[in-house]
Amino acid sequence: MEIKLSDHFTYGRLFRFVLPSIGMMIFTSIYGMVDGFFVSNFVGKTEFAAVNLIMPFPMMLGAFGFMIGTGGSALVAMTLGQGKKKEANEIFSMLIKVLFIAGIAMSVVGIIFTREIAIFLGATEDLLEHCVIYGRLLLVALTPFMLQNVFQSFLVTAEKPDLGLKITIAAGLTNIVLDYLFIGVFHWGLVGATAATGISQVVGGGLPLLYFIRENDSELQLVSSKIDFKMLGKACFNGSSELMTNVSLSLVNMLYNLQLMKYAGENGVAAYGVIMYVNFIFVGVFIGYAFGSAPIIGYNYGASNQKEMKNVYKKSLIFNIVSGILMCIVAILFAGFLAGIFVGYDAELYEMTKRGFAIYSISFVVMGLNIYASSFFTALGNGLISAILSFLRTLLFQMLCVLVLPLIWDLDGIWLAIVAAEGLALVLSFAMLKVYKQKYGY
């Protein structure tokens, strides 16, 4: 049964609509975990630490794709809600064109400065060359990576979330199979891991590009368009919270790694890498729900349908509360099993990772609500409030906590930093939702 943005969303219809987006994020996280598994178990602990040390740099550059995807899709959804399909397609096409040009430029600049960035991030002599090799090769595929991110949002806006899930699965399976061949069979090490990732991103970004170039039965199609700097500015400003979130996460990851090198050495960086890989699966549920439900809010806001906005808003809060509690319980119960998949070969590293993830998992209780609040304001076109929430939650609060809490609880303080930061952010999120409730009518 095809679900339209203009439909009334019961719990069943809402979950069916957002489930492909959740599936996309979870599957993306799983094939990211496979990368980590093969590097850690078949290449080495040092190389695994190097991957996790340099990874925030290409991820920070790729954040531009998240900004265009979330901010642009919200703008396109509102335009569709106003009945302006031609204008919506022109905005969509213009954003993809800009993203393609920006991706190539960022890739070139990133490759040039990879070594300097690795040194800045604290790469030791043992880690440096591994960081440079992995970082530069990953940046070659930066443009398809950004396209993959942006199309995840636009496929939902085009009312084709199922297609988005299928493409993500195709990209993920490509990565998993090639990881096995390049690392497990051919023994190409980090070069093999990066090649597998890059080819999978070409699949993930290239297939939806081909779909939208051709005539299709969705709400969106790539058409001839000029660069409209006013609309581009609106899309970028509206998606600035997602840019801020991803840039902040990269910066915070860098700070975490610096602190972990100080308090626990190479093992600390490796343990944090495992926690991040596993964490992405759980957080993927929250992000997938936020991405999947945002076009519904944007469409109904554009159509001035406050009743349906209230309906989806209420159901979304309930979903994030219940799923957050359940995921916290599951994560704590399976912390040992998940740590063992990556670092079971090293007893000290295993215990560090297991304890760190169990503490980190407490943050899941409230994390979903914070992610949804920021995405909700993006969907309403209020990029400023969304950006403020993201900036404080993902950067300021976390930096403050990861610098201060280790002074009190040593290594445990680093793992607790995310819990404290999410708690502070929750207070701010609910304050903003209450303040703007009457203005937007949700």
> Residues 148-205: pLDDT tens digits?
989 988 998 998 989 988 999 999 999 999 999 999 999 999 999 999 999 999 999 9
Q: Which pLDDT belongs to residue 224?
A: 92
Contact 171, 196 (CB under 8 A): no
In sequence order, what are the residues at sequence separation of 6 or more whose Cβ sits closer than 8 angstroms to the Cβ of residue 241?
Answer: 70, 374, 377, 378, 383, 386, 387, 388, 389, 390, 391
User: For the whole model, what pTM was predicted?
Assistant: 0.78
Q: Which pLDDT belongs to residue 424?
A: 98
In this predicted structure, the answer to whether residue 275 has a pLDDT above a threshold of 80 is yes
Q: Which pLDDT belongs to residue 360?
A: 97
Determine how many CB atoms are found less than 10 A away from the CB of residue 30.
16
Segment 220-244 mean pLDDT: 88
Give one DSSP letter per residue of 222-246, joined into a string: -------HHHHHHHHHHTHHHHHHH
Domain boundaries, the chain: 17-440
In this predicted structure, the answer to whether residue 331 has a pLDDT above a threshold of 80 is yes
In this predicted structure, the answer to whether residue 402 has a pLDDT above a threshold of 70 is yes
In this predicted structure, the answer to whether residue 297 has a pLDDT above a threshold of 80 is yes
Q: Which pLDDT belongs to residue 30?
A: 80
DSSP label at 134?
H
DSSP label at 425?
H
3-state secondary structure of 128: helix
Q: Which pLDDT belongs to residue 1?
A: 62
Taking the C-alpha atoms of residue 362 and residue 329, their distance in angstroms, rounded to an integer, is 8
In this predicted structure, the answer to whether residue 80 has a pLDDT above a threshold of 70 is yes
